[in-house]
Amino acid sequence: MTFKQLKEKKSFRFLTNKYFIITLGFAVWMLFFDQNSYETHQMLNNEIEKLESSGEFYSKEIEQDRKVIKDLKNPKKLEKFAREEYHMKKENEDLFLIEYDTIK
């Protein structure tokens, strides 16, 4: 096939069209080399998803903490919390902590 025959083919003319070449070059540049490339967008989308899921986690934690704070307004529950969490004790009282060995 000679160059003249090749030049007459519709697909060759389309692929060698200067507008097609420029558009193709622009698309390749935007997809792979630009700072706003597809890969960068995917990384940012993944980070957004992580942050949203951690936001949900912290919202649940805040609700649990609010419930605990509300419960601690009751003096008996406050005393129980102090004894369990901070190992506080009353005067004239002995406190024995039993720790279980987790290593077999």
pLDDT score of 50: 94
pTM score over 0.85:
no
Interatomic CA distance for residues 14 and 18, integer angstroms: 9
Measured CA to CA in angstroms, residue 44 lies from 26, 28, 31, 88 at distances of 22, 20, 15, 47
DSSP 14-25: HHT-HHHHHHHH
The answer on pLDDT for 52 being more than 80 is: yes
The DSSP output letter for 91 is T
Average pLDDT over the chain, rounded to an integer: 85
